[in-house]
Amino acid sequence: MLAELTTLNIISFLLIFFIGLPHGSFDGAVASLVGFRNKIQFAKFIFYYLTLFFLVIIFWLNLPIITLTIFIIMTIIHFGLCDWTNYKINNYKYSVSFTHGMTIIFGIIFFNENESFMIFEYLTNDKIYLIQKYFFVPYLFTLLSIVYFIYLSFFEKKLRKGIIEIFFLLFIFYIFDPLLSFAIYFCFFHTYKHLKHLIKNIYLNLTNKKFVIYTTFIFTAISWIGGLAIVYYLVQNLSLYESILKVIFIGLAALTLPHMLLVDIVYRKRFE
């Protein structure tokens, strides 16, 4: 069954495309922060980044369900680590990261399972429904992780605001469809937290502020123009809804791998 492009879908796509996706455009500044500072080093960074980007797309086109599964796992880790960093605590890194990451992804799916799997089908194929019956397992782990998070909040006061955030997000996921739910978290929670931490370190550690502005503007423009061009190409054979879904989520997956390696492994080791 073909889904129609609704007003809420359009709002969701615009939020993700014009607010969420460009936050990765600061990766040029992140690369400079962690050591890719001269022209040769920065060219190597661009080469590595694009290589990983295109490898993910190739994998997705050939092994869509496996690649989607890996993307979900990466997203859980990336969102979770970003949320944990925001607490500015040294303890409970893996527990807090796991709780936040699982709550976002499986909270959205739990309250919108049929709609979520329809999106998954567009991104992969109809075989994705074979694993739907096993999703009670991550739902259970998510519930247990939230309970444990509440328990930890008795010992770490900073986590108490996280309980409010988690239940507020679950309320959003209950009210809205999966696309808008994801857009709200991705744009107004994840992007805000990521940029708040990053911009502070850019201001303190990078002297060439113009470089940050130029590279961020260029990367943002490339992502917007490239995304719109691919949508235009795909819409010749697919619906506009499916074309935009593929561009945004496969594009997100392709960007998440190099972004995650850069931010969660290299950057966090120096600026956590």
Q: What is the pLDDT of residues 94-128, one digit of tens each?
A: 999 999 999 999 999 999 999 999 999 999 999 99
In a domain, 2, yes or no: no
Confidence of residue 184 (pLDDT cuts 50, 70, 90): very high
Q: How many domains does the chain have?
A: 1
Residue-averaged pLDDT of the chain: 92
- Look at 139 and 209; give whichever has higher pLDDT: 139
Confidence at residue 272, expressed as pLDDT on a 0 to 100 scale: 66
Query: At 103, is the secondary structure helix, strand, or coil?
Result: helix
**For 47-82, how does the pLDDT look when each residue is reduced to its tens digit (9 = 90+)?**
999 999 999 999 999 999 999 999 999 999 999 999
Is 224 among the domain residues?
yes
Task: Mark out the alpha helices in the chain (DSSP H runs).
Answer: 7-15, 27-33, 39-62, 64-87, 93-111, 113-123, 136-152, 160-175, 178-185, 191-205, 209-234, 240-245, 251-260, 268-271
CA–CA distance, 116 with 34 (Å, rounded to integer): 37
pLDDT of 152 higher than 70: yes
- 80 and 101 in contact (C-beta within 8 Å)? yes
| Mean pLDDT for the stretch of residues 148-176 | 97
Q: CA-CA-CA-CA torsion for 97, 102, 103, 105, nearest 10 degrees?
A: 130
Residue 1 lies in a domain: no
The predicted structure's pLDDT at residue 212:
83
Within a domain: 242: yes
User: 215-247 pLDDT, tens per residue?
Assistant: 889 999 998 999 999 999 999 999 999 999 999
pLDDT exceeds cutoff 60 at 2: no
pLDDT digits (tens, 9 = 90+) for 243-263: 999 999 999 999 989 999 999
pTM of the predicted model as reported, rounded to 2 decimal places: 0.91
Tell me which residue range forms the domain holding 31: 7-271
